[in-house]
Every structure is written in structure tokens, then in C-alpha cells.
Amino acid sequence: MVRPGRAVRYSKYEPTLDDLDSAELMRMIQDRLLASGYERDPWDPDPDARPTLDDLHEAIAEALLREGLVDESLLDAAMEADDWRQSELGRLVRDLAQRLERDGFLRPGEGEEPGGSEPGAEGSGPGAVAPARDPGRATFELTDKAIDFLGYRTLKDVLGGAGAASVGAHETDATTTGVETTGASRPYAFGDALNLDVTETFKQAARRGLGDGLVLEEGDLWVQESELSSSCATVVLLDCSHSMILYGEDRFTPAKRVALALAHLIRTQYPGDTVRFVLFHDTAEEIPLARLATAQVGPYHTNTAQGLRLAQRLLARQRKDMKQIVMITDGKPSAITLPGGRVYKNAYGLDPLVLGETLREVGACRRAGIQVNTFMLAREPELIAFVQRVSRMTRGKAYFTTPRTIGQYVLQDFQARRTKLVN
């Protein structure tokens, strides 16, 4: 009990590492988790590189320092130690990494034993601890929970920064006489669902006079309009050729971030839709959502035709009202796959052989009713002409944007554009 007359002093609450939850920690290290090879060596990308525990520990330590959550005494001790990972700061960082694993954001890489970030006793039997993993070689993977979190963060940042309202179901410019009405009504036409606007219908009949009673005729019928919903199948084509990190900026990480946000948007707001992801470089391959976040740049060339070919095969399996390809690239086509499987490459100019094969695949998209919408991260005149030609052939759209603004263009266009395909 406080004695009468004595002053009580309150000081500002200073958060500690114990107050740092896993979601906040994920927010702090999300840029490092999505890194695409630019920071490592942009001149020699390794498409097979995977983040290690050492990378995770460094990312956490940098985030703590950036946020001012490390006491100066801990920092001094870490800098004086032969290996900062063996200092008290290193122990705290390892604890935080284990917390991310316990809370379901991370899991050991393929072939790794769970846990074991801390040295422990070897052996088997009750009470035995799994041998420690070498942090410099042991890898980790992001869980579905982490992928969903990163997609949500990007979606919130991009649409929130653009001043967009919350997103909802698929709206289209076309209307039909369904159940959810828009408030507008019109005269009944043959084939409409009989969703009568009762008030307007009786009003039309009453205009002829009541007489012996109210007689309804077909011309009196009015129906209420509702928005026509539709389903959409999307393939996101991501260029991961060398140029995406080569010219002084990382273009691939923003592209991955947008793809994750698009996946989150579709899964949460448009459950009837589907989205698949294809990386194209010297060749092309589909990549599952779980591997998208840690995908790296490489190999070197841009086989746009093979990417379009694979996207068409994936879309052909989907029974949806609308089918579309969202292509994010920064370079001209520079490779094609020849009939025998050999890859022909020419990085100098728009090779007529490469261009012709690429445009043949664009024509196949048009014949299949697939719209190709291209988001170009470069501004060379020949690239602008190429992208505009692709857009005209498939009645798609072309956007010339930057890594900083691509998220806003892709996500807002995705919501506003594809509904128009119904018309």
C-alpha cells in the first residue's frame, strides 16, 4: 500500500527481447528471408543456393541491432569475442531462431533433424538430444504459415500504401439476375432468372388501370440486377534470369514479394480461383508456393517461349471462366528450346529465331483465350515494342514499372482488370 503523501514515479516502459513475438520478428527479417542472390554475388548467381542457419542468425542479429533491441554491453562482448555466435548475443539469437521454429514459421531443411540448433549430447534412447547441426551448412524452410504471413504483409503494405479499400469477391462489369442484388432493376428479358422487382412490376401493371383487377402481362415484369461473379485461373510467370539482379538493383525479390501477395489475395478473397507459379530462365519450371520465397536468380538467359508453353499446359487443366498469364520480366527473350530439347541462346539483340518462336507461343495463348498481361521492369525501346506487340495479340495489358511500384500495379490491376474479360 502506498503511504499518503508519498509520490509515485512512473517511467517509460522499455520493451525487451522477451516481449518480441515471432510475428514481429518475422516482419523484421522478411527482407532477408526473401533475398534472391543480389546481396550474395550478383555477378555469379547460384540458383541452387538455400539459406542456412548462419544466414538466419545473421538476419536476426542485424534486425535486433537495427531496432535498438540489443544492450550495448552485449554488443561490446560480442565484438570482443572470437566468434560472436558463442557470445551471449549469439545465444539470444539462437533462442529466437528456435522460437520461430517452435511457433511454426520455420522447419529444418530436407534431410535435417528437427531442433538441434543448440549443441547437445549424442546418442539414442530416452532423454537423448539430437546432435547439433552445423549452422553454416544446415538449411531451413519456410512453412505455409510463414508464406501466408509474408504474403499478407506485402498485400497490406502495397494496397494500404495505395489507399485501396479492403478487397472482396470477384466483381464484373456484366450483370445477371441472380440473388445478390445491386439495387438496380430493368425489364425482364427471355432467359433471365425470375428475380422479380415486385414493386416495379406492380407499378407497371397499375399504369394500365385496375379495371376488374390487376392483370400482369409479360411486359410488366421487371427483375433486379445482381453482379455476375466468375472464376479465374492464373499463372504467374516470373523471370529469374541473370539480368534480374545484374544492373545495380534487385528486381527479383520485389517480383517474388508480389507473387506471394497475389497468392494470399487469391486464397483468402477468391477461393474459387487458382494460381500457379512458373520460373523461366534458360528453360522453365513450375515451382510450388512453398519454395517461391527462397527461389534464387539463375540460370542466365530468358526463355520466354518455354515459360509461355508451360503456362498454357497448366491453364489447359483448369476449368475456369477466365484464364490469364501475369508475366513479370525485365528483359528481351534470349533463348528458346529446340525440338530436340537443346536450348538455343543469343543474348545480343532480338534474335529473329527467338522472337519468332516466342510470338508463336503468344499466338497460341490468343487462340486458347488466354490473356497475357506483362509487367516490364525495363524501358529499352525494343523491349517496349515487343511487350506492346504481345499485349495487342492477346488483348492484354502492358505496364512499364519499377521494382518499387510493381506491387501496386500487379495487385490493383489483378482486382480491377480481369473482371472485364467476361464482357
Give the position of cell 498485400. Answer: 155
Whether pLDDT at 233 is above 80: yes
Residue 111: what pLDDT?
Answer: 53
Whether pLDDT at 161 is above 80: no
285 CB-near residues (< 8 Å, 6+ apart): 278, 279, 310
Residue 417: what pLDDT?
Answer: 53
Of 141, 82, 86, the closest CA to residue 119 belongs to: 86
Beta strands in 297-364 (DSSP E): 322-329, 335-337, 343-345
3-state secondary structure of 105: coil
Residue 241: what pLDDT?
Answer: 93
CB 258 within 8 A of CB 411: yes
Instruction: Work out the average pLDDT over 8-18.
Output: 59
Residue 39: what pLDDT?
Answer: 79
State the first-to-last Cα distance of the chain, in angstroms, to the nearest integer.
74
Cα–Cα distances in angstroms (integers) from residue 177 to residues 171, 270, 420, in the given order: 14, 21, 18
The pTM for the full model equals: 0.72
CB 253 within 8 A of CB 36: yes
Residue 303: what pLDDT?
Answer: 96
Over residues 363-398, the pLDDT tens digits come to 999 999 999 989 888 888 888 888 888 988 988 888
Please report the domains of the chain, with CATH numbers, ordered by start residue. Answer: 17-44+52-119+126-138 (no CATH), 175-227 (no CATH), 232-422 (3.40.50.410)
- Adjacent-strand bridge partners of 300: none
d(CA 65, CA 223): 64
The residue among 304 and 178 whose pLDDT is bigger is 304
Residue 398: what pLDDT?
Answer: 85
d(CA 155, CA 261): 5
CB 363 within 8 A of CB 390: no
The DSSP H or E segment spanning 289 is helix 289-292
Q: State the chain's mean pLDDT as an integer.
A: 80
Banded model confidence at residue 410, pLDDT cuts 50, 70, 90: confident
DSSP 8-state assignment for residue 170: -
- Adjacent-strand bridge partners of 286: 278
d(CA 2, CA 259): 58
Residue 401: what pLDDT?
Answer: 86
Cα–Cα distances in angstroms (integers) from residue 40 to residues 45, 251, 396, in the given order: 8, 14, 36
d(CA 176, CA 32): 47
3-state secondary structure of 285: strand
Banded model confidence at residue 152, pLDDT cuts 50, 70, 90: confident
Instruction: Work out the average pLDDT over 268-286.
Output: 92
Of 179, 197, 180, the closest CA to residue 188 belongs to: 197
The residue among 165 and 292 whose pLDDT is bigger is 292
Instruction: Lowest mean pLDDT of 67-76, 86-95, 260-269, 410-419, name the range.
Output: 410-419
Residue 10: what pLDDT?
Answer: 56
Banded model confidence at residue 132, pLDDT cuts 50, 70, 90: low
Residue 212: what pLDDT?
Answer: 67
Angle at Cα 69 formed by Cα 65 and Cα 70, nearest 5°? 70
The DSSP H or E segment spanning 63 is helix 53-66
Residue 270: what pLDDT?
Answer: 83
Instruction: Lowest mean pLDDT of 157-161, 243-247, 327-331, name the range.
Output: 157-161
Q: Which residues of 62-96 are buried (b: 16+ CB within 10 A; e: fewer)?
A: ebbeeeebbeeebbeebeeeeebbebebbebbbeb
- Adjacent-strand bridge partners of 360: none
Residue 71: what pLDDT?
Answer: 85
Q: At what angle do helices 381-394 and 352-367 cross, to 10 degrees?
A: 30
Give percent of the chain above pLDDT 90.
Answer: 34
Over residues 191-232, the pLDDT tens digits come to 666 678 888 888 887 877 666 667 777 778 888 766 555 788
Residue 419: what pLDDT?
Answer: 45
CB 238 within 8 A of CB 279: yes
Q: How many Cα atoms within 13 Å fall on the side-chain side of residue 22?
A: 15
Q: How many Cα atoms within 13 Å fall on the side-chain side of residue 173?
A: 8
Strand 175-187 with 343-345, pairing: unpaired
Of 100, 68, 73, the closest CA to residue 89 belongs to: 73
Strand 140-142 with 106-108, pairing: antiparallel
Residue 238: what pLDDT?
Answer: 96
Residue 304: what pLDDT?
Answer: 96
Handedness of CA 357, 363, 367, 371 (dihedral sign): positive
Give percent of the chain above pLDDT 70.
Answer: 78
